[in-house]
Structure 1
Amino acid sequence: MAIFQAYSGTIIAIDDFWTENVEKVGCNKLMSVTGRDGSMVNFVVRPCTYFVDHVTVKVGDTVTGFFDASAPVPLIFPPQLQAIVMTRNTQNQNVKVDYFNRQLVSSDGMLKLNIASSTKIVLENNQSFTGNLENRNLIVIYGATTKSIPAQTTPYKIIVMCTQV
């Protein structure tokens, strides 16, 4: 099971990520992101990386990259992480990528989902999802939350991650 973590910052460079496979040259990107504290991370962005709202990001955008903290990472500086989900940060919109249990509480116990009839629930390819949300990896897009622990929210949109992470 993936253990999702997030890193937020400003994109300072986007370059091609070179692989040994000539046919894939140009398909993978390396996004260098600098955090507010001056730290830096390089996200490897592959064609399967999900971009929330299917946005195109550019240098200067503030983004959050979600990655599997249990995945192996090369011992280089800056850290080079495989981006699973990327989002361009916007006001009044929060994004959480996590495993949600039977009670729709995130694995870190910090967010509980209250589903409304207005909540749009889709697959990564934007097709309707008609299954059960329990015990799944979800990309949750939401606004305000309660101040309780776990915080509760009624999401605007949920993207169900059916692909293996």
Structure 2
Amino acid sequence: MSQSVPLTKESYEFLQEELKRLIKEERPKVIQDIAEARSHGDLSENAEYDAAKHRQGFIEGRILELQDKLARAYVVDLSNLKPDKVVFGATVTVYDTATEEEVTYKIVGEDEADIKIGKMSCTSPVGKALIGHKLDDTVKVSVPSGMKEYEIIDIKYE
């Protein structure tokens, strides 16, 4: 049985747009590129043909991956929740007691996680530790660099 994939509304829409673009724009273009490269003659020494076939394989693989992910996706709707605890899709601001810094993260699925832009995976050690906790809770979590302690100072559902 395949596992469902939690996604934020934005991520679901982004993946749908990527799939649409790959099917309607990229796939026809690579087919055209292959046909053009074929017209140049000997395929055994045709770098353009090899590159186009490689690109076609990548596009087809990505289309299958996106179709599978979207078929298993469920969009997490936060609109009717009260922001009293950290859940998937919540934006949480924490105070790092060691560095005395405030950091804000949006708790997202693995595919949309990008810590550089403040999107933390719900399966990461910190993401898992924060889920379920409330405002003003102190959360201790083991990370590769040791033990971290965070105080939850704000939770928003956007």
| TM-score normalized by the length of structure 1 | 0.21
Structure with larger RCO (C-alpha < 8 A, sep 6+):
2
| TM-score normalized by the length of structure 2 | 0.22
> Higher strand fraction: Structure 1 or Structure 2?
1
